[in-house]
Structures are given as C-alpha cells and as structure tokens.
Structure 1
Amino acid sequence: MFSRSPQPPLPLVVVTQAALGLMLLVGIATIALLPAASAGAAVDLPEFAGLRLPLLALAIAFTALGVIALAMIVVLIHRIHRGTILTRSSLRRVDILIAASIGGVALVLAAYVVISNGQSGFPLLVIAQALTCLGLTAVACITLVLRSLLRTAISIRTELDEVI
C-alpha cells in the first residue's frame, strides 16, 4: 500500500560514511597526540607553560565533543539509508548533536576566560573564538529546526500507522 521512502543512493552513503569515519579517526588521533603537542609547546613557549593543562583539557574536551557529534551523524545517516530514521531514538541522537554544539560554545567561552586570565591572547584569537561561538550556535539552531521537522514527521508516521 505504502511505497518505501526514498533513500539516498548507496554510493553516496558509502562515500559519506567513509569521509565521516576518516574524520572520526583524525579526531581520535588528535586526542591521542594533543598531550605531546602541548608539552612541546610548553617547552618552546615557557611564558605560556602555565596555560598548558587548562587549555589541553579544553582542547581534548572540544575534540571529544566533535567525535561524539560525528558518531551521531554516522548513526543518523545509517538510519536514513535503512529507512528507520522516523523513530524516537533518532530524536535522542539529534538531541546529542544539539548538546555537543552547545557544549562546544561553553568550551570556547571557557578557553576565552583561561586565555584572558593568562593575558596571552591576541585580537585575532578573540575574533576567531567569537566566530566559532556564532557558528556553533547557528549549527545548534539549525539542528533544532530540523529536529522539529523530524518530530513532526514521526508524529505523522505514527498517525498513519494507527490508521492502517
């Protein structure tokens, strides 16, 4: 009676999943390499050595949020391909994406405070941090709008399933 919902072409899904998988690996490798890189920077720039640990923790947390967001995107793309996106558990995955974006904004603001207290920032860094906050906020807002559309589609699907 109902035709199956259109799916993205398999080659597109495979290429997208491969690119996201590569990004996940880069994120995990970054988390593994950050401590050594920050130790080297502390040796090369001893005047900023006191900021090493707080900025390292913030960088690892920020990267971890990115890895979590990528993992949720991988799951959602897989669900889209399988035709199982219209479930409540998909909403939870989208909520995690929103939380990761908001968490990213909080971490950038925390980095601003750490750098300001250490009196080691420069004007371009402040601009970059402000743009990062703006970008992450925009991503969270767009994701909220798309979540609302997903919630509506799930409700419509539920109503149709009840009618049948």
Structure 2
Amino acid sequence: MTWGRARCALHRLSGRCHRTASPLPATAARLAVALRKAIGGSFGPFYAKALLRAARAVGGHGTLSAREWATAFDEAVTAICELGDRTMVDALRPGSDAFIFAAEAGQSLEQSWAEAIKAAEVGHEATKAMCAGAGCAAYLGDRAVGIPDGGAAAAVVWMKALKAL
C-alpha cells in the first residue's frame, strides 16, 4: 500500500519533471516532498532526507559519471541511519559501498549499479539473522529474527526498478 502511494505520487510528478529541464537539486526537492507526503511512517522522511542529501552532493552538475552517481547514492544512504539496526540501511550500505568500488574500478554506470544491487541483495538476506535495533521491526524484538527486513527488501526492489529505466 505504502509503495503503491509512492509510485502514484512519483508518476504524477514525472509528467511535470519531463516537461521542464530542471537541475537535479530542484528535481530531487520535488521528489522528496512528494515521497514525504505519500509514504507513511519513517520511510517518507528517510527517503526525502536521502534525496536531498544526494542532490546536494552533486550540486548543479549536468551529466554525471558513474563515480558521481555513486557518491550521491553514498551520501543518501549515510543520511538515513546506521548499519546493523535491521533496516533498509543493511541493504543500502553494502549496495553503496559496492557501487563506489565498481565505479572507482572504472566500470560503467550500468555495471556499477548491477554490483550495487548484488551487494544490496546480500545485505537484505543478512537481516534475517539480525535483531532489530531501529525501524518498524524494533517493536517485534526477537520475533522478527528469521524473516528478512521489509525496509531492506523495499530498497532492493526500487534499486532493481532503477536499473530497468
């Protein structure tokens, strides 16, 4: 339900973004507001903060290299919370690290993002063994052990969706 509302909000916004050639920071700000309003719980503010931090990292650059995209993604992940709390960060942090490593090794944007997705999937799977320290699962305590974190799963889903664009 939450991600359906987010998809609809981004779809409505996409028509306006394509009609005007806005710089990345302005576009990210519009996306951040749309997601914050559409997504309930902590996800909305987390993703809004992440988008704004990523936009600030790249500034007014035009076309970005794989390394610049990797830096922006890393800034976004850093803005959210800590690794090991059994949250979306447990997928995003290894994804970001792999993205930077691949980009610095000279891989293309597509190859670097594919590496990020692989690492995020491993991080997502690792959440099965974690006791939640933050996020929605923190209320479940040990009962969440054995089940992968929903936020980490959602992060992998949208990362794969971006690859398809």
TM-score exceeds 0.5: no
> Normalized against structure 2, the TM-score is what?
0.34
Of structures 1 and 2, the larger Rg is shown by 1
Q: Which has the higher contact order (CA 8 A, sep 6+)?
A: 1
Q: Is the helix fraction higher in 1 or 2? A: 1
> Normalized against structure 1, the TM-score is what?
0.34
